[in-house]
A = this chain, B = another copy of it.
Amino acid sequence: MAFVKAPCKRRAAILGATGLVGRTILALLEERGFPLDSLRLLASERLADRRLPFRGESLPVEPVSSHAFDGVEIALFATKNDISQKWAGAAREAGARVIDNSSAFRYQPDVPLVVPEINGATLDDLPWLVANPNCSTIAIVMALAPLQRAAGLERVAVATYQSVSGAGAQALEELERGVRLGLDGQPPARRDGGPPFAFNVVPHIDRFEDNGYTREEMKIVWETRKILGLPELPVTATAVRVPVRVGHAAAVNVRLSRGIGPEEARALWREFPGLEVVDDPAQARYPVPLAAAGRDPVLVGRARRDPSQENGLEFFVASDNLRKGAALNAIQIAEALSHAEAGAS
């Protein structure tokens, strides 16, 4: 275990430390001055031969094992479903709280699915396992939550514009390779056989379900309902990959219980922590992924009344899918758990 000079507080571990989300967690722990007593970087055997910089030191990446979580209080999992399922039990047995970025546990009724600004109160119960929501869903629900509180949601329909970093480091390499080769000809086919990311848009993220929706689209449906505490809310989505490196966007169309105009929507968003209103059509100001990348807030704008339905409202969101869409939200959960523990003790 690598010991870090910091205000002695928590003993933490990152599982999947070498991935895009893992490295963003590492960067944000440093950026936010998260009080750490120790930090252990974990990855599969194959990746556990490198070191990663943290607070002026160089931390070794260790192979995950049944004893890797000994002494760990907070385990941040930035892994795929099967890895999260494999190691969550070991972390629990070691006494750690697990904040899991995969979708393995998100739909279990007893596992809280948390965006701290919205339903952070569920962390007061000090659950051992907290699920971190889907990257697109987080940005969407951040903008929906204040509308729901003020005017009631009746239906939500979404079309996403999701960056390639959401598919991981290897997909980002595919994009770069495709763009380089595609500049002077046709972008090459992807190594996994899918249509090129470069100079293309691909309405296929995660696997297809029997109902014709992709798993990614159903995540938006299920998780929006769960986070907002509206299990019957009608939600639908089309999830599309676009040739952007970092930054997910979404066009969101809602029907409310009470009609509100763009001014009122913007006022509600301005009061909501974690949102930044970027909405000035006269100055051509609106959210775009490039402006959201590398920053914490979810950008929201393009608010307008939708005259095609009663009490309709439309808007556009953009956020850094590695930060608020993943690493930042996970760390906010860790911070809230620490705060709740301090309050409980």
Contact = CB atoms under 8 A, between A and B. Distances in A.
A242 B204 contact: no
A342 interface: no
B203 A238 contact: no
Interface residues of A, number: 60
Given A208-B282, A303-B212, A202 B308 contact: no
B208 A155 contact: no
Contacts of A213: 304
Interface in A233-292: 234-236, 238, 240, 242-245, 247, 249, 251, 253, 262, 281-282, 284, 286-291
B238 A284 contact: no
A157 B308 contact: yes
Given A251-B159, A281-B208, A284-B208, A308 B199 contact: no
A196 B306 contact: no
Copy total for this chain: 2
B234 A199 contact: no
A201 B187 CA distance: 19
Contacts of A157: 157, 253, 306, 308
Nearest to A201: B161
A235 B183 contact: no
Contacts of A176: 183
Contact of A290 (B159, B196, B203, B309): B196
Interface string A45-70: 00000000000000000000000000
A200 interface: yes
A161 B221 CA distance: 22
A187 B242 contact: no
Contacts of A200: 244, 247, 288-290
Interface string A140-167: 0000000000000001110101000000
Nearest to A236: B308
B306 A236 contact: yes
Given A157-B253, A161-B161, A203-B287, 17 more contacts: A156-B308, A157-B157, A159-B159, A194-B284, A199-B243, A199-B244, A200-B247, A200-B290, A204-B284, A208-B284, A211-B304, A212-B305, A234-B308, A236-B307, A236-B309, A236-B312, A238-B302
19 contacts: A155-B308, A157-B157, A159-B251, A161-B201, A161-B240, A179-B179, A186-B290, A195-B291, A200-B289, A201-B244, A201-B289, A202-B288, A211-B305, A212-B262, A235-B308, A236-B309, A238-B251, A242-B242, A243-B244
